């Protein structure tokens, strides 16, 4: 995915740079699941209310956690990821606080608390779902820790990480899930 | 790694999705259901239909004012307020390509012609593209099959679209309105474009020193010359190949007109209209002016003309305007950075008191607005404020008279180097404010004139990359500019124009043959983050209009040539 750290300022004079359609794999790939061990870095991020969030403490709770990587102006992938988070919250109703939903920005420069708050409002997120941003270097650390480093946000791919509170294992799901698939994951992690 | 379980066979998922989409459509059409029914003729004047269709496409709002309902990813209900067609297919409708998911074009020109193989793939990129196209081959859409794709997710070749394409629930009338919009979306040749040429303009807004004007225009003209000699070479080669899928942008010549605006800004609009009437342009590149960019901004907004990276300290600050992409928010951004930095200071030391002083000049007002608006957004009460007349001197006496006293007091002093003497005078006062904030830009970009004695308690907003880190980025630009004999000065005009050229040529590469204005903007929106001269980082995204988001808070070391030391992150949250 990551082709290089970033594009340094060389002028591509008149270049036929990469067109919209690259050599990407086909869509309609089915989600892939693995079990992983991750070490959450001890960074302090900021949420949609401007509140500082110590990430390690925030994720290592006795509640199940579902985490994804999104950004405020993302196309295609984030709409679906976020729609499925809010749909899960709606389905759980008053139970929705029993799981902690966390979205981490991969465009931390643009995703200020204000941008994040508006994003959450658009999706009618309820409490129990936080959108976190931070400094570029802290966000990079988080992406590395979850083996999800994305140098260029347009190379973003859908990923959902689920933390089991009992033994702290993470289930990693690559790809987009349907509502029923996500619900099934919730049932497993909450022991219902 | 352990694979936990095999996937549900996709046939089952498909069947479930079709059932859900059918069910949804059934509810909506109150019983009368035929998947391939014809959209009604649009029951209203064309302009009205286009306006309403655009609203469905961009905002997900139906003519009734209700959000459109849909099902995405097999079974997730969504509505148009969350996202709409534009979120995935982009405003120009040429599709997007994020990670592993490609959305196809939805503009009329692409939908109403067959999607086939590219004739003769030339490069590796085109060979991959050919594979992609082969898998998506289909005949031209008709109004009926298009409605079916949007409602049920199948294309005219009978292929099931990826479930990330939602199934939309729309009645026949609304569908007809949307389809009439898709038909014209990115389908007509825009102004300023001919089969062999694309015309651009660059605006010189009011009095601009010849040196500054040249620093902007010479690199642009050099770029145009280089590019045209290259495109002529390409044209010769390509003419020999019979099969080309429409003329690529790289094959056209570019021309660049200078639009010079004279007299009071109130008359600029009429001058712009006149230039545009005489020689319509596809887009505006760069431009320069010392005052408010608003007249040019509004002109571009009204005519839907893209304008990229004008050199101005006073961009229009807007969250919804679309057509001008700025390098940053200019001087306003320095006030914003001060507010974000001080907010954390107030959290840490609640007894902090802030006094806000600004000079009643465009620069002072921009800083004040940046600070105040950001402060208010964060829900904090406006601090005590004092406005200095345009020529009012800043004296030690004046500073002592302000209610900013003692270690916990912060003075925002949006004035220029004429305040240096006063800062020096109060340096030894026990009651002087603990911190004073100045703006690098308003201080005429000359930190050496901040008095040595005042540096320990003085902070500056600094909207650029730190000088000691600029090396590799600046050198590359300077070498290119020197070769073109472009004068360099401390206003960074030539280096910022260099960034414009970089962004533009990358965006041109992404546009290929789809030379439409919205697609030009969309192509800039999907660029990766760029490390160019001057700003720490430029970043883009649909709706992001200020490429540099950062501004340091810095302090100065002692001595005649002080070093700039950062006290904050580049972007402060």
Residue B198 has pLDDT above 60, yes or no: yes
Nearest chain A residue (CA) to B500: A11
Residue A19 to residue B129, Cβ atoms within 8 A: yes
**pLDDT of res. B266:** 97
Shared domain for B293 and B205, answered yes or no, is yes
Kindly list the residues from chain B whose CB atom is less than 8 angstroms away from the CB atom of residue A12.
Answer: 502, 505-506, 509
Shared domain for B292 and B437, answered yes or no, is no
Q: Predicted ipTM? A: 0.90
Backbone φ and ψ of A42, nearest 5°: -90, 65
Backbone φ and ψ of A187, nearest 5°: -60, -40
Residue B526 to residue A151, Cβ atoms within 8 A: no
Shared domain for B227 and B123, answered yes or no, is no
- B313 in Cβ contact with B361 (< 8 Å): no
Residue B477 to residue A87, Cβ atoms within 8 A: no
Shared domain for B323 and B335, answered yes or no, is no
**pLDDT of res. B261:** 98
Report how many domains make up chain B.
Answer: 3
Q: How confident is the model at residue B195 (pLDDT cuts 50, 70, 90)?
A: confident
| Average pLDDT of the residues in B444-462 | 97
Residue B119 has pLDDT above 90, yes or no: no
Residue B212 has pLDDT above 70, yes or no: yes
Residue A46 to residue B480, Cβ atoms within 8 A: no
In a domain, B290, yes or no: yes
Residue A9 to residue B531, Cβ atoms within 8 A: yes
Query: Residues 130-149, chain B: which have Cβ within 8 Å of A?
Result: 131-132, 135
In eight-state DSSP terms, residue A26 is P
The nearest CA of chain B is from the CA of A134 a distance in Å of 7
Nearest beta carbon to residue A122 from set B81, B103, B528 = B81
3-class state of residue B169 by DSSP = strand
Alpha carbon distance B536, A83 (integer Å):
34
Q: How confident is the model at residue B335 (pLDDT cuts 50, 70, 90)?
A: very high
Q: Pick from B491, B387, B371: which is nearest to B439 by CA?
A: B371
Cα B286 to its chain centre, rounded Å, is 14
Shared domain for B318 and B342, answered yes or no, is no
User: For B242-271, what is each residue's pLDDT tens digit?
Assistant: 334 444 656 789 999 999 999 999 999 999
Shared domain for B337 and B317, answered yes or no, is no
- B524 in Cβ contact with B326 (< 8 Å): no
In a domain, B58, yes or no: yes
Strands B76-79 and B69-72, by their bridges, are antiparallel
Shared domain for B210 and B301, answered yes or no, is yes
In a domain, B478, yes or no: no
| Average pLDDT of the residues in B393-408 | 96
Tokens of B64: 């009734």
Shared domain for B211 and B125, answered yes or no, is no
Shared domain for B268 and B313, answered yes or no, is yes
Nearest beta carbon to residue B88 from set A33, A75, A113 = A75
| Average pLDDT of the residues in B60-65 | 98
**Contact B99/A at CB under 8 A:** yes
Alpha carbon distance B556, B460 (integer Å):
8
Residue B338: CA atoms inside 13 Å, Cβ hemisphere, count? 32
Domain residue limits at B115: 28-184
User: For B281-298, what is each residue's pLDDT tens digit?
Assistant: 999 999 999 999 999 999
Angle between helices B467-483 and B493-511 (to 10 degrees): 70
- A vs B, Cβ pairs < 8 A, gives 247
**pLDDT of res. B548:** 98
Look up the CATH number of the domain holding residue B434: 3.40.50.2300
Pick among A8, A18, A20, A150 to test the B interface (most B CBs inside 10 A): A20
Give the lowest-confidence range in A16-30, A66-80, A97-111, B453-467: A16-30
Shared domain for B354 and B425, answered yes or no, is yes
- Which segments of B254-361 does DSSP mark as H helices, in order? 268-278, 294-303, 331-348
Kindly list the residues from chain A whose CB atom is less than 8 angstroms away from the CB atom of residue B128.
Answer: 21-23
Out of B184, B205, B240, a domain closes at B184
Residue A79 to residue B543, Cβ atoms within 8 A: no
CB atoms within 10 A of CB B252: 22
Backbone φ and ψ of A171, nearest 5°: -100, 130
Residue B571 to residue A87, Cβ atoms within 8 A: no
Shared domain for B266 and B126, answered yes or no, is no
What structural domains and CATH numbers belong to chain A?
Answer: 2-190 (3.40.30.10)
In a domain, B38, yes or no: yes
Nearest chain A residue (CA) to B81: A122
Q: Which residues have CB under 8 Å from B289's CB, separation 6+?
A: B203, B204, B205, B206, B208, B261, B296, B310, B311, B312
Give the lowest-confidence range in A124-138, B48-62, B124-138, B293-307: B124-138
- A72 in Cβ contact with B540 (< 8 Å): no
Residue A15 to residue B477, Cβ atoms within 8 A: no
Alpha carbon distance B67, B80 (integer Å):
5
Q: Pick from B316, B314, B279, B293: which is nearest to B204 by CA?
A: B293
Report the sign of the C-alpha dihedral through residues A10, A14, A16, A17, in that order.
positive
Strands A65-70 and A100-105, by their bridges, are parallel
Alpha carbon distance A53, A46 (integer Å):
6
CB atoms within 10 A of CB B244: 15
In a domain, B169, yes or no: yes
Kindly list the residues from chain A whose CB atom is less than 8 angstroms away from the CB atom of residue B163.
Answer: 28, 176, 178
**pLDDT of res. B13:** 53
Residue B97 has pLDDT above 50, yes or no: yes
In a domain, B277, yes or no: yes
Residue B520 has pLDDT above 60, yes or no: yes
- Rounded to a whole number of angstroms, the distance between the first and last alpha carbons of chain B is 37
Q: Which residues have CB under 8 Å from B475's CB, separation 6+?
A: none
Q: Pick from B187, B21, B160: which is nearest to B92 by CA?
A: B187
Q: How confident is the model at residue B100 (pLDDT cuts 50, 70, 90)?
A: confident
Kindly list the residues from chain B whose CB atom is less than 8 angstroms away from the CB atom of residue A71.
Answer: 541
Kindly list the residues from chain A whose CB atom is less than 8 angstroms away from the CB atom of residue B102.
Answer: 21, 24, 27
In a domain, B22, yes or no: no
Residue B530 to residue A9, Cβ atoms within 8 A: yes
Out of B158, B184, B210, a domain closes at B184
**Contact B473/A at CB under 8 A:** yes
Kindly list the residues from chain A whose CB atom is less than 8 angstroms away from the CB atom of residue B198.
Answer: none
Out of B138, B157, B184, a domain closes at B184
Query: What are the beta bridge partners of residue A161?
Result: A67, A172
Shared domain for B144 and B264, answered yes or no, is no
- Which segments of B328-457 does DSSP mark as H helices, in order? 331-348, 362-377, 396-401, 420-426
Tokens of B232: 């002529």
Q: How confident is the model at residue B237 (pLDDT cuts 50, 70, 90)?
A: low
In a domain, B526, yes or no: no
- B280 in Cβ contact with B199 (< 8 Å): yes
Residue A19 has pLDDT above 70, yes or no: no
Which is higher by pLDDT, B12 or B455? B455
């Amino acid at each position: 995915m990551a082709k290089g750290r970033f594009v340094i300022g060389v002028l591509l004079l008149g270049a036929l740079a990469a067109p919209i359609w690259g050599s990407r794999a086909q869509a309609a790939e089915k989600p892939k699941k693995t079990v992983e061990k991750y070490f959450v870095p001890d960074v302090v991020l900021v949420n949609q209310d401007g509140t500082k969030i110590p990430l390690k403490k925030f994720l290592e709770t006795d509640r199940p956690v579902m985490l994804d990587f999104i950004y405020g102006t993302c196309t295609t992938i984030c709409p679906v990821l976020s729609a499925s988070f809010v749909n899960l919250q709606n389905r759980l109703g008053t139970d929705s606080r029993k799981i902690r939903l966390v979205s981490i920005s991969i465009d931390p420069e643009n995703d200020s608390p204000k941008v994040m708050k508006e994003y959450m409002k658009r999706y009618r997120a309820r409490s129990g779902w936080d959108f976190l941003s931070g400094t570029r270097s802290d966000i990079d650390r988080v992406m590395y820790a979850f083996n999800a480093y994305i140098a260029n946000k347009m190379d973003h791919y859908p990923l959902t990480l689920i933390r089991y509170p009992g033994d702290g294992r993470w289930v990693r799901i690559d790809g987009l899930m349907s509502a029923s698939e996500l619900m099934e994951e919730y049932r497993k992690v909450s022991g219902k | 790694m352990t694979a936990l379980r095999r996937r549900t066979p996709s046939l089952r998922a498909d069947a479930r999705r079709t059932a859900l989409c059918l069910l949804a459509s059934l509810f909506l059409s109150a019983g009368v259901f035929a998947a391939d029914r014809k959209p009604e003729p649009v029951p209203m004047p064309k302009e009205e239909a286009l306006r309403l269709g655009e609203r469905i496409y961009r905002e997900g709002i139906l003519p009734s004012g209700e959000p459109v309902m849909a099902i995405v990813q097999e079974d997730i209900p969504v509505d148009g307020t969350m996202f709409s067609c534009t979120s995935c297919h982009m405003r120009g409708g040429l599709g997007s390509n994020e990670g592993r998911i490609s959305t196809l074009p939805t503009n009329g020109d692409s939908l109403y012609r067959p999607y086939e193989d590219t004739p003769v793939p030339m490069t590796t990129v085109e060979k991959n593209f050919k594979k992609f196209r082969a898998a998506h081959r289909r005949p031209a859409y008709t109004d009926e099959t298009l409605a079916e794709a949007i409602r049920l997710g199948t294309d005219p070749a009978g292929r099931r679209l990826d479930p990330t394409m939602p199934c939309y629930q729309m009645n026949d009338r609304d569908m007809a309105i949307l389809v009439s919009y898709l038909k014209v979306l990115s389908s007509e040749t825009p102004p300023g474009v001919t089969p062999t040429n694309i015309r651009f303009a660059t605006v010189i807004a009011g009095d601009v020193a010849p040196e500054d004007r040249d620093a902007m225009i010479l690199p642009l003209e050099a770029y145009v010359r280089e590019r045209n000699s290259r495109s002529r070479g390409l044209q010769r080669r390509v003419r020999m190949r019979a099969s080309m899928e429409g003329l690529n942008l790289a094959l056209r010549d570019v021309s660049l007109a200078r639009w010079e605006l004279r007299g009071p800004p109130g008359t600029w609009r009429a001058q712009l209209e006149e230039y545009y009437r005489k020689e319509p342009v596809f887009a505006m590149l760069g431009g320069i002016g010392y005052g408010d960019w608003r007249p040019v901004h509004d002109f571009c907004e009204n005519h839907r003309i893209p304008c990229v990276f004008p050199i101005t300290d006073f961009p229009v600050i807007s969250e919804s305007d679309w057509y001008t992409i700025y390098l940053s928010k200019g001087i306003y951004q320095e006030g914003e950075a001060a507010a974000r930095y001080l907010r954390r200071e107030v959290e840490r030391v609640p007894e902090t008191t802030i006094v806000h002083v600004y000079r009643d000049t465009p620069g002072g007002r921009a800083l004040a607005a940046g600070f105040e608006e950001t402060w208010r957004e964060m829900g904090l009460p406006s601090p005590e404020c004092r406005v200095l007349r345009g020529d009012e001197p800043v004296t030690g006496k004046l500073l002592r008279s302000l209610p900013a006293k003692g270690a916990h007091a912060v003075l925002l002093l949006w004035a220029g180097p004429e305040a240096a003497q006063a800062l020096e005078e109060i340096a030894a006062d026990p009651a002087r404010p603990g911190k004073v904030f100045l703006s690098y830009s308003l201080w005429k970009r000359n930190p050496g004139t901040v008095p040595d004695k005042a540096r320990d308690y003085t902070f500056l907003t600094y909207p650029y990359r730190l000088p000691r880190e600029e090396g590799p980025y600046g050198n590359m630009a300077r070498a290119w500019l020197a070769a073109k004999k472009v004068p360099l000065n401390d206003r960074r005009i030539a280096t910022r124009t260099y960034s414009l050229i970089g962004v533009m040529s990358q965006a041109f590469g992404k546009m290929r043959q789809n030379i439409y204005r919205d697609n030009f903007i969309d192509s800039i929106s999907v660029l990766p983050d760029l490390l160019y001269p001057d700003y720490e980082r430029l970043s883009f995204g649909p709706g992001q209009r200020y490429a540099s988001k950062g501004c340091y808070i810095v302090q100065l070391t002692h001595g005649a040539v002080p070093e700039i030391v950062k006290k904050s992150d580049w972007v402060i949250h």
